[in-house]
Amino acid sequence: MFRNGIWIIGVIEAPKDNQKYRRKDGKWIFCPIPYSIIELVFDSSLGQIVDLDFKGLEQNFNIGVDWGDGNFVDIPPYNHTFPDSNKIYTVKIYNLPYFPDSFYNNDIATGKNLQNLIEVHAKGSIISVGVNAFRANKVLSCVDLDKLNNSSIYLNRSAFSYCSNIDEFNLDLSKITELLSNQSNQSPNLNTIDGVFAYAFAQNSAVELNFSSLNFKTLGNMTFWFSNVKKIFFNPNAEFSLGIGAFANCTNLTDLILGIITDIGGAPNYTLGGTFYNTKNLMNFSADFSKITSLPDGYIDSSRKLGVFYNAFSMSSKIALEFNNPNFTLVGSQSFTESGLHKINFNPNAIFAIGARAFNGCTNLTEIVLGKVTNIGAAAFMNCSAITKFTGDFSKVSVFADGYSDLYPINGVFSNAFAPGSHIQLDFTSQDIVRIGNQCFMGSKIWKINFSSLSNFAIGTLAFYNCTELVEINLGGVSYIGANAFLGVTSLKVFTGDFSNITVIEDGYNIAGNDRGTFARAFDPSSNIELNFTNSGFTKLGSMAFRESNIYKVSFNRNASFTVGFQAFANAKKLIYLDLGGATQLMDGSLSGIPTLQILRIGNPNPPLFGTITINTTSLQKISVPAASVSDYKGATGWIAYANLIVGDY
């Protein structure tokens, strides 16, 4: 397809001194000229090519041209006007062995402006395309090259980078064995990106590339960075490494078939995407990752999203990956964040850590089979809301990392994870667990959780908040419970643990409206859950701690001196038994609206200060206090209203 203006056919690179070059007709000639430009001039008003000009050729150099009639002829090196002005010629240039570093940024050493280089056609002995050969030519739309049979073609770094208008690309790539880059793995420079096809091809192009060589061995850093290539195929039996950012931001890429991958490049600490970052329209993907032993960490801050598969794969795809190397050691931070991954399996015998946000936002992920997990980073499975199968050995996990904030945004390890109705059960059997981090299971659809009865750990803020499908949790020893930790766990029927080390139940804080409290709205109506806080050093029962919960019985140590917080048991719908131990003060509303309460016990010999409280006496049978303090209670402010129920049997 010709367009108005100059059409640069190609560049002739001469061999080194004393080397001979074979012409098409079999004769040998010497070629001392470094390179020359072959220029066609197309006149749109006539609709035909009107001139052919050879630049820089000396008289002893000949080139072969097929004028369109199938006859190959020698053309001497001088300007040539086509013989028939009424004829449109299809010109084929032969014997162009090398495209050197000549078309960089639409300019050459002579200062010739090549803005009209819109098509490149060359047939015959193409063996190499040089460094920066067509770099930054934004009007080039068609590349049609050939190769010399039984000879390798070499594509140098940045050969087609920034050629953002190419919508037709024909080149036999079957002999290509590497696509290299000079970019450092540690500190590549975005201002000097030299991936072979970086930023190449027109928007929404249909360009397909096929690297079919079994000997392909290296795909360099940023090779296809921001490329608009449509499909890329490699020999499935070729073994090769992938550089950092190799396919990053290929948003037009729909098909990518790789071979046996020996290494996957990571992401350095600045704005550079991981190997498959933002390939968000990729529908068809396959690779053999059996040799991969780790997925390197991405870089995490408020604006950089750099994991290997971050935002990779279409959300409508069914892509499944398998990392079956038994020596696998790491799923790096942000490895699969917000990707369209559908299923992933790891070797069950592999021992590895999972980095922060590794699978965060994988809303298309339905199945994950892990190995032996040693550590789980913050937000690792957050918002994986479609998972129906989740298995792994967590016997080595001792810490579940905190979310990045005690408040919103949500950042817990399993926050909003698992599909509704998935009935996923997790068993954390390590005796060395020390912490369930903030927001760890917040909003998840987890079904059952078991911890070792011999463990002793802290539970972070909002750890199980709004786990509406959680029916059973068996804790070990609990040393601390953060604010709102079990708020809204409305289906919980089995709740066991040793709370003898608990000295504080924190104040609730507002989540939505006035929704707050460590155990507020917790427990299933059909449950009969009893909690005993036996530590004599208990000092605080926070505000709204059991507000509107379905707790059945609660007891505190008689020798513990503590304040019962604002609305601590307000509207507890099923509470029948409450032993407040050595409580010293009852804040406003702390015992209001409990229609089922039958027995209230207080072991403090001195009547606790009584706030604005209305105790519902519908079911109340007695208020038990120390025998020696009965008269004090009956005469104390607030308590006097319930004098007829006060007995001395504590």
Distance, in Å, from the CA atom of 429 to the CA atom of 450, rounded to the nearest integer, reads 7
Could you report the per-residue pLDDT of 6-65, keeping only the tens digit for each?
Answer: 333 433 333 333 333 333 333 333 333 333 444 444 444 444 444 444 444 333 334 444
CB 618 within 8 A of CB 643: no
pTM of the model: 0.81
Q: Is 194 exposed, middle or buried (0-12, 13-18, 19+ CB in 10 A)?
A: buried
Task: Locate 171 and state its tokens.
Answer: 């080149």
pLDDT value for 153: 62
Domain range list for the chain: 1-172, 177-288, 528-650
What pLDDT does residue 305 have?
60
Per-residue pLDDT tens over the stretch 343-395: 999 999 999 999 989 999 999 999 999 999 999 998 999 999 999 999 999 99
Q: How confident is the model at residue 382, as a pLDDT?
A: 95
d(CA 174, CA 322): 28
Closest CA to 367 of 306, 322, 415, 308: 322
Which residues fall within 8 angstroms of residue 119, CB to CB, at 6 or more apart?
A: 1, 2, 3, 7, 140, 141, 142, 143, 144
Q: From 3.80.10.10, 3.90.1480.20, 3.40.50.300, 3.40.50.11540, which CATH number describes the 528-650 domain?
A: 3.80.10.10
Sheet holding 98-99, edge to edge: 98-99, 128-129, 154-155
Percent of the chain with pLDDT over 90: 61
Torsions phi, psi for 166 (to 5 deg)? -70, 120
CB 508 within 8 A of CB 543: yes
